[in-house]
């Protein structure tokens, strides 16, 4: 989903007639029960909707009302969804003359009071957004120092839920300051006299799980979620271990749902819903419900899964095991059942299981397990397990079972397969059928089905006459992929059939294994960061592309920086790391700089090694923190595989210290290209600020704002641009003397180092002879001082009705920056 057009109003500011805030009868709602009955407010995790994930700043009355309508018409209200929440950007840019927050009269013509009345009329509740700082993340007025008035205003409007954010917080960073700022709003809500669920949103910064029970009913534990698998995986990894801190009226909040937003698979979205339920997380929908697909509504509306989340015992699932990407959670439920989740975060099918004796389940002759996604009911004797697809989660509701013999046994079909190379002799597939049921299986047979044209032959027997409890039938197969098969992921279907229980009764179990077919890189010199690896392992978070490894979640690093030199291309890793590429004998050379990133000085050295197949083709020897970048050139001639490895400590010792190791500007040469041929993808610099400010200025009258050439931050040449913004922000850019022809380009990039309060931004271009303004690609960074390459696809840019994005006639290029402070920009380019 795209977030659109945040700052459209700014350029037309001079034309907008100031609209007086709509006056409402000041009659306050009758005061509700004392808000000190806090725990009652969220005895189970809150359920609802928030517009941020799908709409960003594009919130308005119609959206909120229509969402409330869909809650009712789709059955989501009956399923338990209750709060319809407004996020950032709902207010005017300035407080009213009386010091109060004022709803944006264009977005909310009937005010927040009007929309609250509408939502209440549907039997639902309304949420709003505020910030424990001077400005919200998008630059609207914050509540720091205005807590009482703002809480009173929201109470008068009929607000039932407050999400309270942490941007522009003026904090000294101490936990005491966080407690002070967030407690001030709790007290203000209590004084205002209307019960409100109080949702603390400080991204886990001050470890709120250690102090916020009794302050708010829920607290964010992580940075913002985004609609992609690495984000989901990393948030689960951070939130799951916090189970001791949650309970009725005080919940860990791993952020709002992305289900339905389009960038994850159904399997991944079901994992999202499953794990949120297991973690007793708030279920706040973040997609456009008015256009949601049947699949999205089915995931969000799964009553069995919702019942796990909303169980009145209020226990966050215990992490029973967490090993090599496979996690088991155990959540006791009020009726004595246990929800057991088997979560596979790896990229391949895996069998995940747990002995019932390692969970809180009572000892029993067997266990009845209901799959909460398929509805299927099975029995297992000692081990609750399933073959779980890559990125998938199976959730069973389990209870002791006295007489297992009428219930079908749990039989898992697992498999393992190496990477497939088209046109070679074939790879080995191994399948394992395991009987977890009480009672023996008869006449077990396993079959596998590969895509058309592939060969698949069993090399060991595929049948077994009997399979007792906890025994397996293992079969080996050879898989061949025809020459010319494009690289990609291909399914292999596996089926086991067997008899069980009384004679004549049969059943089957199925799994899908997704195989990986590789192909060699295209000819030419290429930035290695644009070539897809086959797999990678990294000690902390994912391998970062074109930025350093922040050592935590995806996207948390700054631009790769080694001894003061900034690189915009490369791979950011943390030791021990390995990245593997398939070359198929078609490449000849890798050149790269290496070094330890300045962002995380280390007392231990690190060693970088480039392997061509199993031979070390280049190695750095020990590199220390602060050392100048070291250049390596590896001869890859004839190699099938390329592997980049970093370890900490002296070569070979591999001491377990995590060191941030950068492969800076690595270039791969394939198919007979010469090392000095151009490196692809080629980029064209539009502004590099070497001799001045390149005509840059502000689009709207400056409010203390301006630009200056600066040597403080540069990613090409020796200079960049220092941009001073006001908190409200402005557009910065240039109208070149002659229109630019950017036809055929797909991507717009520039390097940015955010000022002390982070940034919120967007890009715009002016096109055609009329200089029409097209804009989009909103971003928000909450980490001050971080540097990144901002990459925006030209398709992120939207034009007004009737204007087409004619890239052959670009008459202006603009960047919106706000939050106040000095930001640095360099090397605006297109690719």
Binding site for ligand GLA (CB under 6 A): 52, 87-88, 136-138, 165, 201, 203, 224, 780, 782
- Of 203 and 732, the one with the shorter C-beta distance to ligand GLA is 203
Identify whether 224 is a catalytic site residue. yes
Query: Rounded to an integer, what is the distance from CA 695 to the centroid of its chain?
Result: 37
State in angstroms the smallest separation of the CB of 56 from ligand GLA: 8
State in angstroms the smallest separation of the CB of 159 from ligand GLA: 16
According to DSSP, residue 134 is labeled S
State in angstroms the smallest separation of the CB of 816 from ligand GLA: 14
Residue 461, both tokens: 């027997």
- Of 140 and 396, the one with the shorter C-beta distance to ligand GLA is 140
- Of 90 and 748, the one with the shorter C-beta distance to ligand GLA is 90
State in angstroms the smallest separation of the CB of 659 from ligand GLA: 30
Of the listed 87, 150, 160, 224, which one is catalytic? 224
Task: Look at residue 642 and give its three-state secondary structure.
Answer: strand
The torsion region of residue 217 among left (phi > 0), alpha (psi -120 to 50) and beta comes to: alpha
State in angstroms the smallest separation of the CB of 759 from ligand GLA: 12
Is the alpha carbon torsion for 178, 554, 390, 273 positive or negative?
positive
Strand pairing partners for 367? 380, 400
Q: How far apart are CA 50 and CA 52, in angstroms?
A: 6
Is the alpha carbon torsion for 466, 464, 434, 412 positive or negative?
negative
Strand pairing partners for 183? none
Work out the angle at residue 569's Cα, subtended by the Cα atoms of residues 563 and 570, and round it to the nearest 5 degrees: 75
- Of 140 and 687, the one with the shorter C-beta distance to ligand GLA is 140
State in angstroms the smallest separation of the CB of 782 from ligand GLA: 5
Decide: 714 and 688 in contact? Cβ < 8 Å.
no
Measured CA to CA in angstroms, residue 592 lies from 185, 546, 661 at distances of: 52, 13, 13
* Cβ atoms within 10 Å, residue 565: 15
- Of 87 and 546, the one with the shorter C-beta distance to ligand GLA is 87
**Does 576 sit behind a cis peptide bond, omega within 30 degrees of 0 on the bond before it?**
yes
Work out the angle at residue 24's Cα, subtended by the Cα atoms of residues 21 and 29, and round it to the nearest 5 degrees: 135
Q: Which of 557, 489, 495, 568 is nearest to 527 (CA)?
A: 568
Q: How far apart are CA 258 and CA 544, in angstroms?
A: 22
Q: How far apart are CA 758 and CA 161, in angstroms?
A: 27
- Rg of the Cα atoms in the chain: 29
Task: Look at residue 238 and give its three-state secondary structure.
Answer: helix
Of the listed 165, 546, 751, 826, which one is catalytic? 165
- Of 4 and 586, the one with the shorter C-beta distance to ligand GLA is 4
Q: How far apart are CA 91 and CA 106, in angstroms?
A: 10
Residue 573, both tokens: 């890793």
State in angstroms the smallest separation of the CB of 52 from ligand GLA: 5
Of all residues in the shown chain, the one whose CB is closest to ligand GLA is 137
- Of 138 and 639, the one with the shorter C-beta distance to ligand GLA is 138
Task: Look at residue 355 and give its three-state secondary structure.
Answer: strand
Q: How far apart are CA 386 and CA 397, in angstroms?
A: 13
State in angstroms the smallest separation of the CB of 761 from ligand GLA: 12
Q: Which of 315, 307, 226 is nearest to 263 (CA)?
A: 226
Q: How far apart are CA 467 and CA 496, in angstroms?
A: 12
Q: Which of 565, 570, 778 is nearest to 557 (CA)?
A: 570
State in angstroms the smallest separation of the CB of 136 from ligand GLA: 6
Measured CA to CA in angstroms, residue 452 lies from 486, 487, 488, 516, 777 at distances of: 14, 16, 15, 16, 41
- Of 256 and 429, the one with the shorter C-beta distance to ligand GLA is 256
- Of 464 and 761, the one with the shorter C-beta distance to ligand GLA is 761
Strand pairing partners for 309? none
State in angstroms the smallest separation of the CB of 757 from ligand GLA: 12
Identify whether 117 is a catalytic site residue. no
- Of 127 and 584, the one with the shorter C-beta distance to ligand GLA is 127
Catalytically annotated residues: 165, 224
């Amino acid at each position: 989903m795209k977030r659109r057009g945040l700052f459209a109003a700014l350029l037309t500011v001079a034309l907008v007639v100031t609209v007086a805030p709509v006056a409402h009868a000041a009659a306050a709602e009758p005061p509700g029960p004392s808000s000190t009955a806090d725990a009652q407010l969220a005895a189970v995790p809150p359920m609802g909707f928030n517009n941020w994930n799908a709409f960003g700043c594009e919130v308005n009355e119609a959206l909120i009302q229509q969402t409330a309508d869909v809650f009712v018409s789709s059955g989501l209200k009956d399923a338990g969804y209750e709060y319809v929440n407004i996020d950032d950007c709902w207010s005017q840019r300035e407080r009213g003359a009386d010091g109060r927050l004022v709803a944006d009269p264009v977005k909310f013509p009937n005010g927040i009071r009007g929309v609250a009345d509408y939502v209440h009329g549907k039997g639902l509740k309304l949420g709003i957004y505020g910030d424990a700082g001077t400005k919200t993340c998008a630059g609207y007025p914050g509540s720091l120092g205005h807590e009482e008035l703002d809480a009173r205003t929201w109470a008068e409007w009929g607000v039932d839920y407050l999400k309270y954010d942490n941007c522009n917080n003026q904090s000294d960073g101490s936990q005491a300051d966080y407690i002070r700022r967030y407690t001030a709003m709790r007290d203000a809500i209590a004084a205002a006299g209307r019960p409100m669920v109080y949702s603390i949103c400080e991204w886990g910064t001050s470890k709120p799980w250690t102090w916020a029970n009794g302050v708010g009913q829920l607290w964010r534990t992580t940075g913002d979620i985004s609609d992609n698998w690495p984000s989901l995986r990393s948030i689960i990894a951070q939130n799951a271990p916090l189970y001791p801190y949650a309970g009725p009226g005080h919940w860990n909040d791993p952020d709002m749902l992305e289900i339905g937003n389009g960038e994850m698979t159904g399997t991944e979205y079901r994992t999202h819903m499953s794990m949120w339920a297991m973690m007793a997380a708030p279920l706040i929908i973040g997609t456009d419900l008015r256009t949601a697909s049947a699949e999205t509504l089915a995931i969000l509306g799964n009553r069995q899964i919702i019942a796990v989340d909303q169980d009145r015992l209020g226990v966050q699932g215990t992490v029973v095991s967490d090993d090599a990407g496979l996690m088991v959670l155990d959540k006791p439920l009020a009726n004595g059942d246990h929800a057991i989740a088997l979560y596979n975060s790896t990229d391949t099918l895996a069998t995940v299981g747990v002995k019932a004796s390692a969970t809180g389940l009572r000892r029993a002759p067997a266990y009845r397990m209901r799959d909460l996604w398929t509805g299927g009911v099975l029995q297992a004797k000692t081990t609750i397990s399933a073959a779980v697809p890559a990125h998938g989660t199976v959730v069973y509701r389990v209870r002791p079972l006295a007489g297992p013999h009428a219930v079908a046994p749990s039989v898992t079909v697992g498999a393992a397969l190496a990477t497939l190379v088209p046109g070679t002799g074939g790879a080995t597939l191994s399948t394992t059928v395991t009987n977890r049921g009480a009672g023996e299986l008869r006449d077990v047979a396993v079959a596998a089905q590969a895509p058309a044209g592939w060969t698949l032959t069993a090399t060991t027997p595929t049948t077994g006459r009997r399979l007792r409890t906890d025994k397996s039938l293992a079969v080996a197969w050879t898989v061949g992929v025809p020459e010319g098969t494009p690289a990609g992921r291909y399914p292999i279907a596996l089926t086991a059939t067997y008899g069980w229980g009384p004679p004549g009764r049969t059943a089957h179990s199925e799994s899908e294994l997704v195989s990986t077919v590789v192909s060699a890189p295209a000819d030419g010199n290429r930035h290695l960061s644009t070539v897809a690896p086959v797999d990678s392992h990294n000690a902390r978070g994912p391998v970062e592309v074109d930025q350093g490894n922040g050592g935590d979640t995806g996207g948390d690093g700054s631009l790769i920086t080694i001894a003061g030199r900034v690189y915009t291309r490369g791979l950011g890793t943390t030791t021990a790391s390995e990245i593997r590429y398939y070359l198929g004998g078609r490449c000849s050379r890798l050149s790269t700089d290496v070094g330890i990133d300045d962002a995380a000085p280390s007392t231990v050295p690190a060693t970088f090694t480039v392997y061509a197949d199993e031979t070390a083709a280049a190695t750095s020897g020990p590199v220390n923190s602060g050392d100048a970048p070291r250049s390596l050139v590896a001869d890859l001639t004839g190699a099938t595989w390329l592997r980049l490895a970093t370890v900490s400590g002296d070569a070979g010792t591999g001491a377990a210290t995590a060191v941030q190791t950068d492969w800076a500007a690595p270039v791969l040469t394939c198919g007979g290209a010469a090392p000095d041929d151009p490196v692809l993808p080629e980029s064209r610099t539009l502004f590099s600020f070497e001799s001045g400010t390149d005509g840059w200025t502000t689009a709207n009258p400056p409010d203390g704002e301006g630009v200056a050439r600066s040597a403080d931050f540069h990613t090409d040449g020796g200079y960049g641009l220092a941009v001073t913004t006001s908190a409200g922000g402005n557009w910065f850019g240039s109208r070149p003397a002659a229109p630019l022809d950017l036809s055929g380009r797909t991507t717009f990039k520039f390097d940015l180092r955010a000022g002390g309060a982070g940034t919120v931004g967007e890009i715009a271009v002016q096109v055609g002879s009329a200089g029409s303004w097209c804009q989009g690609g909103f971003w928000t960074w909450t980490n001050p001082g971080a540097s990144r390459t901002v990459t925006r696809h030209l398709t992120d840019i939207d034009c007004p009705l009737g204007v087409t994005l004619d890239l052959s006639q670009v008459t202006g290029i603009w960047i919106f920056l706000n939050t106040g402070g000095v930001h640095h920009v360099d090397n605006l380019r297109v690719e």
